Amino acid sequence: MNAVPDNLPGRDVAGLLAEQETKSLLKFLTCGSVDDGKSTLIGRLLYDAKQVFDDQFAAVARDSRRFGTVGEEVDLALLLDGLEAEREQGITIDVAHRYFTTAKRKFIVADTPGHEQYTRNMATGASTSDLAVILVDARAGLVTQTRRHAYIVSTLGIRHVVLAVNKIDLVDFSGERFEEISTAFAAFTRDFGFSSVQAIPVSARYGDNVSARSARIDWYDGPTLIEHLESVDVRSSTAAKPFRMSVQWVNRPNLDFRGFSGTIASGRIRPGEPIVVAKSGKTAKVARIVTYDGDLEEAEAGEAVTLTLDEEIDISRGDLLADPKARPTVDDGFVAKLVWMAEEPLTGGRALLVKCGAKTVAATVAAVRHDIDVESLAERPSRQLALNAVARVELRLAEAIAFDPYDEDRETGAFVLIDRLTNATVAAGMIEAGLGRATNVHRQATKVTREVRASQKGQRPKVVWFTGLSGAGKSTIADLTEQKLVAAGRHTYLLDGDNLRHALNRDLGFSDRDRAENIRRVAEVAKLMADAGLIVLVSFISPFRAERAAARATIGEADFVEVFVDTPLEVCEARDAKGLYARARAGEIANFTGLTSPYEPPERPDLRIEGARVDAEAAAEAVVAAILGASEDWSI
């Protein structure tokens, strides 16, 4: 066996290379339940395409006697199972990528694990594939993992699917069994939005209908697997979509050159055309499209380029450049479908990192809306997600980012979640929509920035968030803190919960939903005031950790100082300056925090004040010291 054509020495090498360059490339993955024959199928494809070197085949033949599962035959699955653990267990654990070529096309195939515990590896392989080959054991038919993989494949935007009904030899090449399985799969995936679904009966072990048509399956008149893979049209229209490019690197080799490097995600761009920095709203025109091989007159989706502009505007790594007439969404939160990949369950309020394109920002899981039953596709209310769960969640970000819905652009609509402590990827997500209701509203660039306003006031803006039970002393301490800051020449504003309930939030009650909206509005106002250069003091009970975490994400980690006025309930109730506890005890006030509604104390506040022991004056001094000590000098 040989990995190159036997007649290569007699051929024109330059012509052969040119021929290879003109072939189209298909990236596909194989998936399905464990033992459905994924590795064997790919091994068969490589073998039939003459992509196995003699020494490789000899090694596999030797290993087949030790690890093989097909008796005295050569176990082609071992061509893919590269880890010792995989060979010993007879399963695929990691994602194995292989390259092969035929006379008509080039291929990159990802062999993904079938075991449920390795679903995250399968999602990784699917994220870069154009087509999925979903294998089904003809004896077992559709199983839960098959349905899970089909759903994830559709969620990740793959629109072309092959249903390979494998091991057809073990059901006596039954056409009735094939029809039963293919009909059930078509019914299950009816609403998945696939552009093409081709069902093919195969025997990967013996090669039936893989590369050659099988005489034992004469009732089937469709294409073989390789015929379909060579002919299926998976070309996307990314070049016809609006221009998008995430800046991966600001290229500044010398004082005379400043370019912005990245791979174009969608659309086309030419010198002289305008672009906008999606987040800031600043615009400029493209001066040059620079590549290693020289300047281009036009570049399109998939090309790595460096753009220079006709004027200097602020652009950083992670910024998304876009068509000014078709801008992406810019929001500090979004709703997304999520595949959870960590052993530790995901719960609402968890702080993580979101990486979307080249941009990484802090984020909080504001809510787990529901998870999805992969058997029935029903949506179920859920408070936490277990390993491999597929769900719809709501994320709040520390700062706004630019994105598109995933079904419009796979490049700008995909993200991963990263654990902030271990730096491990714990989830893959697909953005459905931003949290803002007005999708046609985009940020207007202004010349006077937050930094200018802060410089004018000679201070660094901050939001100091006081939390604690009613009667804990928050408002008193916040008021004294403001007085001391003003006396020190600082520019401040105090937002008090009761005061805002009479104005901005007068339409809100005290249900959990209204409390969350109360905090959301206050966080947005506080952020605006911080953008104006102020030190903002916020005094709110804010009883739930998830809402406080969302406020921190809205305002930004660097600008948020959480002060927990930790006063025991009995002390707060003894003070009862407004008579609220007495009324709540009498049943006159519903959902009263500390009595009939819970208070979740901060786990790691920036400053904790023992309200029963420290008097308000000393507490305010401590807060001022903590604020002014948060950096070397707040004065700019």
CB 608 within 8 A of CB 564: yes
Asked if 98 and 127 touch (Cβ cutoff 8 Å), the reply is no
Identify residue 474 by its one-letter amino acid code. Answer: K
542 is catalytic: yes
- Residue 362 and residue 553 in contact, taking contact as beta carbons nearer than 8 Å: yes
- In order, the DSSP letters of 230-268 are HH------GGGSPPEEE--EEEEEETTEEEEEEEEEESE
- Joined together, the tokens standing for residue 458 give 């000679």
For residue 303, how many other CB atoms are within 10 A of its CB?
17
Q: How far is CA 414 from CA 113, 339, 411, in A?
A: 22, 12, 6
Strands (E), 411-569: 414-418, 425-434, 462-467, 492-496, 535-539, 560-566
If you ran DSSP here, which 8-state letter would residue 409 be given?
Answer: -
Closest CA to 202 of 234, 171, 233: 171
CA distances from 20 to 16, 26, 211, 236, 250 (A): 6, 13, 20, 21, 34
Residue 558: phi and psi, rounded to 5, are -70, -25
| Cα gap 360→423, rounded to integer Å | 12
Identify any residues that bridge with 212 across adjacent strands, giving them in sequence order.
208
Helix or strand (DSSP H, E) at 584: helix 580-585
Q: Which amino acid is at 458?
A: G
Report the alpha-carbon angle 422-427-432, nearest 5.
140
Catalytic residue (choose from 196, 542, 631, 635): 542
Residues 6+ apart with CB under 8 A from 263: 245, 246, 248, 302, 303, 304, 305
Q: How far is CA 479 from the centre of its chain?
A: 42
Q: Which residues are catalytic?
A: 542
